[in-house]
Amino acid sequence: MVARLQQHQKAHIAKNYLGHALRIAIIRRLMDPLFEIELELPAKGSRDAARSLFEQLKAAILDRRLTAGAKLPPTRKSADFFGVSRNTASEIYDRLLHEGYVVTRHGAGTYVAETLSPHAPSPATARDAEPPDPRLNPFWLRAEVSDALGFWRDHGATATLRTKTTAIDFRPALVDSRLFPFDVFRRVSAKQLRGLERKPARFKSPQGNQGNYHLRAAIGKHIALTRAVVCAPEDVLVTAGAQQAFDLIARVLVTPGETVVAIEDPGYPPMRVPFAAAGAKLVPVGIDEEGLIVDALPADVRVICVCPSHQFPLGVTMSARRRRALVEFARARGAVIVEDDYDGEFRFGTSALAALRTADAADVVFYVGTFSKCMLPSLRLGFIVAPPWALRTLIAAKNGLDWHCAVPVQLGVAAFIAEGHLTHHVRKMRAIYQRRRQLLLRALHEDFARWLEAIPSDYGMHIAASVRGSPDLDAIAERLRERQVKLHTFGRYFCGPATRHGLVFGCGAVDLPEMRRGLAVLREALSA
Amino acid sequence: MVARLQQHQKAHIAKNYLGHALRIAIIRRLMDPLFEIELELPAKGSRDAARSLFEQLKAAILDRRLTAGAKLPPTRKSADFFGVSRNTASEIYDRLLHEGYVVTRHGAGTYVAETLSPHAPSPATARDAEPPDPRLNPFWLRAEVSDALGFWRDHGATATLRTKTTAIDFRPALVDSRLFPFDVFRRVSAKQLRGLERKPARFKSPQGNQGNYHLRAAIGKHIALTRAVVCAPEDVLVTAGAQQAFDLIARVLVTPGETVVAIEDPGYPPMRVPFAAAGAKLVPVGIDEEGLIVDALPADVRVICVCPSHQFPLGVTMSARRRRALVEFARARGAVIVEDDYDGEFRFGTSALAALRTADAADVVFYVGTFSKCMLPSLRLGFIVAPPWALRTLIAAKNGLDWHCAVPVQLGVAAFIAEGHLTHHVRKMRAIYQRRRQLLLRALHEDFARWLEAIPSDYGMHIAASVRGSPDLDAIAERLRERQVKLHTFGRYFCGPATRHGLVFGCGAVDLPEMRRGLAVLREALSA
């Protein structure tokens, strides 16, 4: 802390002589663990600022974003950072102290408690310590559901000095929002909002509940271009992201306790939740180098969930032979296929294979697309291209659950596509992802051949690599986290114990210098 | 038609001499049934324009928005209106003709078919004629579900010359979007979108999945001010409108085939759908002048759905005595209350009664609010203030179904509230609705006392009136529709046959002159 304090004094001097910009740069270097976690700072003059900040800090301590033993900054600095009075900051610290989340060491400041008091359940026991109220459906807090829904959470990050500015994030299916043309999206959205002014904004007709017509038409054109999926606006249902698409499909296809649903193993854990919630019997099915092993499908399967273009997480593209077998299997058994095509816009291989949902599979394939990867996840917009026989039921389900998606977002995305911005953005990102892939593949081949073998992959924003031998991958991932490198092992993608071992390298949220730094850290960890 | 053609010729002359504005005014008067239905016109040069327009016209004929016998305009006029070539318009007409949706009368043009060909199931039989695929859950197309979800649809409008510009819409719970400050919303939204640029737009933390913190804080302040509901941001879950709030509550509280859910009868039909979909046993419970009849609740009820402030549709405010009884009943039986407070911002009476969900009922009340009435339904934004014991499960369910609501809309609404625009808008609208209510109440008292008796009501955007004697209300409503006045009878709000009879006067989407015209038409119909 001495060094820090000296630096802090320097920062003040710098401010006095050199002005605002430098002060910010130096303050960044001074960043404290407290200032590194994501906090929603209260609005100026907010009356519940103290309560809100207390709750957020408590949550951060409970889920270990603020680690045991971490030193909190003095109240003066916190008050400054939070934009509250010094009194309010002291009030927050006092309450944390009173409830046992922090301790003070005489004359040495405030630290996150090493052992939490009885008031504060430790994260390990929190789940069981508070038995859910018997009035509640226990499904949603089951360990496997919490784990699946925790997929996007930043598990087990124990570094005390993770700085957002330097964390290197190889997690798959993230996008680099720094590269999104917010200005363009803002402009087309504002134009569309202006248009709303001239129309009655009443509840929409059933057709409107299927999604805005222009958006559905734009989606049709976009996937015809990028995925060779031919469909009319009438075949498209707009959903709140792919997750709601899975939920709607589960709601219309699953009979509780009866319907057998095949899921890829390893696969995308959050997809399993809506099917399980609807009462499906989930059957994990393995993947080989040709994709989902069709021969391993249970005879009584009714719904087959698959990522044929870019398996999540292995990256395999399903072979043409396997695709034919899958569609034939589904037809013969009266089953349907749910095709999750989350990043199919980003094709790099020479393979001519497009989506599984070609015109002649339109009767058995529910094609699920999303704007989370090719635009932004925060838009929460996706869609289903459904077989004609299922569409009316799907629309009714969508209407019953939330009527339709927010019109301003639908209009903004429709205009963004129609005016050619999506094509432009995808083209730009494809070139960027291509360079990242190339760097990664070259490194895997040249520097990591002793330990890792890339799994061939033609698509998308991540590459998986099998590990040779049997190093302790969890220990390696832990070591990486300590060095602020986030990298998934295969483990979390399996339904049960992992039967294959490897690492998943997402290219979505790391630029080339970050990749190089991250790979250097990985090399050290593997060499150790 | 002769008169029409002459008018049409006049319109052209007017255009030549008087320019654009007048032409539009005259064309409006010429509007044809085809131009009156809501169509999504294809973008210029769209390749699927013909298919899209064909499908939309077919749908309009099937659901009787275009009535049997209605004359379609000549292709030249349609082509103009649709923004397609004359060839494309002819292609659409040909296909409609070929598939039996329209007929031609020699030399006299094209008419909607009186009886639809075997290709075209009539609307009466469409539901049964196309048996749903056995792979689908039959729930969603059941007659009672379709009817409930069709609540917002403009049923049975048979007028051949409904013009949007002159239709008078007394349906309840609509808002007058003409009065919404789109410019302000656009400005605050653009500012927020600009802010997104500086943050990584990754999937949100669990806290983000509960809804944006600033929005939850803003909601807390808004309902504290307008509804005396005291809650912290931590108690609020942001939902895709009230409809998703009902779905989430059903998903976490209902055990299929077991849980008994009480619903108000008459009540809001779409609310029943998510509970029925979750497998609840719905029990209708009657309403008297004090609100929901607590004594009529079944002993084994687990969830009690109620609109205590402004019963939908009767408008009754639940008495203090009845509220106490309801909360005590729920506590004693381990049941919970779902309070649907859809238009509580608009209080006019002198009653001091606020929301049911006061601080001392926080353990048993799920308070559901929406921005559909105080802002716009097209935003699809609402929220639940949940008992602490249920919140973690509700958030997990929300995450499992669609992660969270679209961030741009959440940020826009949060800023709209935080900057005081919602308070301002509500104040403005309250004054406007107050004037409409006064006009309506005076009219009911002075001009309609022979036929109608207003049900006392302190809140909201509609007033219900019981009918004296037993006139044929359906025939009257039908006559009103022919005269372009949309007015609901109590019938559609009952689960079974109506036990009370009356009319519901929504004030949301009619201004004072429209109300006067509409009431004059009603008076004629009642006198007839």
Residue of A nearest to B302 (CA): A135
pLDDT given for residue A391 in this prediction: 95
Please tell me the pTM assigned to this model.
0.80
By percentage, how much of chain A surpasses pLDDT 70? Answer: 82
Contacting residues of B for A391, CB less than 8 Å apart: none
Does residue A35 surpass a pLDDT of 90?
A: no
Pairing of strands A291-292, A301-306: unpaired
Q: Is B5 on the interface with A (CB under 8 A)?
A: no
Cis peptide, bond prior to residue A388, ω within 30 of zero: no
Residues 6+ apart with CB under 8 A from B405: A240, A380, A406, B211, B238, B239, B240, B380, B381
Q: Is B214 on the interface with A (CB under 8 A)?
A: yes
Nearest beta carbon to residue A203 from set B52, B152, B277: B152
A278 CA: distance to closest CA in chain B (Å): 9
Contact between chains at A509 and B200 (C-beta distance less than 8 A): yes
Residue of B nearest to A243 (CA): B402
pLDDT given for residue B123 in this prediction: 41
Between B30 and B245, the higher pLDDT residue? B245
Identify whether the C-beta of residue B215 lies closer than 8 Å to the C-beta of residue A389: no
Identify whether the C-beta of residue A511 lies closer than 8 Å to the C-beta of residue A168: no
Does residue A205 surpass a pLDDT of 70?
A: no
Q: Is A174 on the interface with B (CB under 8 A)?
A: yes
Contact between chains at A149 and B404 (C-beta distance less than 8 A): no
pLDDT given for residue A59 in this prediction: 76
Contact between chains at A232 and B408 (C-beta distance less than 8 A): no
pLDDT given for residue B135 in this prediction: 93
Nearest beta carbon to residue B38 from set A205, A334, A376: A205
Average pLDDT over every residue of B500-518:
95
Interface test with A, best of B202, B247, B255 (most A CBs within 10 A): B202
Interface of A with B in 421-480 (CB under 8 A): none
pLDDT given for residue A166 in this prediction: 62
Residue of A nearest to B273 (CA): A400
Task: Provide the mean pLDDT of chain B.
Answer: 84
pLDDT given for residue B447 in this prediction: 96
Pairing of strands B281-285, B260-264: parallel
B447 CA: distance to closest CA in chain A (Å): 30
Read off φ and ψ for residue B180, nearest 5 degrees: -80, 135
Identify whether the C-beta of residue A242 lies closer than 8 Å to the C-beta of residue A217: no
pLDDT given for residue B64 in this prediction: 65
A187 CA: distance to closest CA in chain B (Å): 8
pLDDT given for residue A123 in this prediction: 41
Contacting residues of B for A135, CB less than 8 Å apart: 253, 302, 334, 336, 390
Contact between chains at A205 and B153 (C-beta distance less than 8 A): yes
Between A114 and B377, the higher pLDDT residue? B377
* ipTM for this prediction: 0.79
Q: Give which of B228, B201, B266, B268 is closest to B410, Cα–Cα.
A: B201
Token pair 């092993």: residue: A293
Identify whether the C-beta of residue A367 lies closer than 8 Å to the C-beta of residue A339: yes
Burial A512-526 (b: 16+ CB within 10 A, else e): eebbebbbebbeebb
Identify whether the C-beta of residue B37 lies closer than 8 Å to the C-beta of residue B65: yes
Number of Cβ pairs < 8 A linking chain A and chain B: 286
Q: Is B382 on the interface with A (CB under 8 A)?
A: no
Does residue A116 surpass a pLDDT of 80?
A: no
B476 CA: distance to closest CA in chain A (Å): 25
pLDDT given for residue B475 in this prediction: 92
Structure tokens at A378: 């925060």
Q: Rounded CA gap, B430 and B421, in Å?
A: 14
Contact between chains at A202 and B174 (C-beta distance less than 8 A): yes
B61 CA: distance to closest CA in chain A (Å): 14
Q: Rounded CA gap, A332 and A314, in Å?
A: 28
Contact between chains at B141 and A396 (C-beta distance less than 8 A): yes
pLDDT in tens, A215-242: 999 999 999 988 989 999 999 999 999 9
Q: Is B184 on the interface with A (CB under 8 A)?
A: no
Contacting residues of A for B197, CB less than 8 Å apart: 182-183
Identify whether the C-beta of residue B417 lies closer than 8 Å to the C-beta of residue B221: yes
Nearest beta carbon to residue B193 from set A43, A189, A390: A189
Structure tokens at A522: 């990985």
Banded pLDDT at A365 (limits 50, 70, 90): very high
Contacting residues of B for A40, CB less than 8 Å apart: 207, 212-214
Contacting residues of B for A197, CB less than 8 Å apart: 182-183
Q: Count CA atoms within 13 Å of residue A388 on its CB side.
A: 8
3-class SS of residue B176: coil
pLDDT given for residue A21 in this prediction: 31
By percentage, how much of chain A surpasses pLDDT 90? Answer: 59
pLDDT in tens, B188-239: 999 988 877 665 444 444 456 899 988 999 999 999 988 889 999 999 999 9
Residues 6+ apart with CB under 8 A from B64: B123, B156, B157, B158
Q: Rounded CA gap, A112 and B200, in Å?
A: 27
Contacting residues of B for A186, CB less than 8 Å apart: 190, 193-194
Residue of B nearest to A200 (CA): B177
Interface of B with A in 234-253 (CB under 8 A): 234, 239-241, 243-244, 247, 251-253
3-class SS of residue B426: helix
Q: Count CA atoms within 13 Å of residue B190 on its CB side.
A: 17
A295 CA: distance to closest CA in chain B (Å): 22
Average pLDDT over every residue of B298-306:
98
Beta bridge pairs of residue B489: B503
Between B427 and A129, the higher pLDDT residue? B427
Contact between chains at B43 and A418 (C-beta distance less than 8 A): yes
pLDDT in tens, B264-298: 999 999 999 999 999 999 999 999 999 999 999 99
Structure tokens at B174: 């609509």
Does residue A3 surpass a pLDDT of 90?
A: no
Q: Is A55 on the interface with B (CB under 8 A)?
A: yes
3-class SS of residue B367: strand
Contact between chains at A408 and B136 (C-beta distance less than 8 A): no
Contacting residues of A for B196, CB less than 8 Å apart: 177, 182, 378
pLDDT given for residue B12 in this prediction: 36
Contact between chains at B206 and A232 (C-beta distance less than 8 A): no
Contact between chains at A244 and B509 (C-beta distance less than 8 A): no
Does residue A34 surpass a pLDDT of 80?
A: no
pLDDT in tens, A5-30: 333 333 333 333 333 333 332 233 33
Identify whether the C-beta of residue B307 lies closer than 8 Å to the C-beta of residue B341: yes
Does residue B151 surpass a pLDDT of 80?
A: yes
Nearest beta carbon to residue A186 from set B48, B193, B273: B193
Task: Provide the mean pLDDT of chain A.
Answer: 84
- B496 Ramachandran zone, left/alpha/beta (phi>0; psi -120 to 50): beta
Does residue B31 surpass a pLDDT of 60?
A: no
Q: Rounded CA gap, B497 and B500, in Å?
A: 9
Residue of A nearest to B206 (CA): A153
Nearest beta carbon to residue A402 from set B38, B240, B336: B240
Structure tokens at A109: 């400041």
3-class SS of residue A429: helix
Read off φ and ψ for residue A208, nearest 5 degrees: -60, -30
Q: Give which of A293, A289, A272 is closest to A281, Cα–Cα.
A: A272
Q: Which amino acid is at A472?
A: D
B106 CA: distance to closest CA in chain A (Å): 33
Q: Give which of B383, B385, B344, B341 is closest to B363, Cα–Cα.
A: B385
A447 CA: distance to closest CA in chain B (Å): 30
Does residue B167 surpass a pLDDT of 90?
A: no
B157 by Cβ neighbours in 10 Å (0-12 / 13-18 / 19+) ranks as buried
Measured from the Cβ of residue A287, the count of other Cβ atoms closer than 10 Å reads 22
pLDDT given for residue A2 in this prediction: 30
DSSP letters of B459-501? BSSEEEEEESS---HHHHHHHHHHTTEE-EEGGGG-SSS-SS-
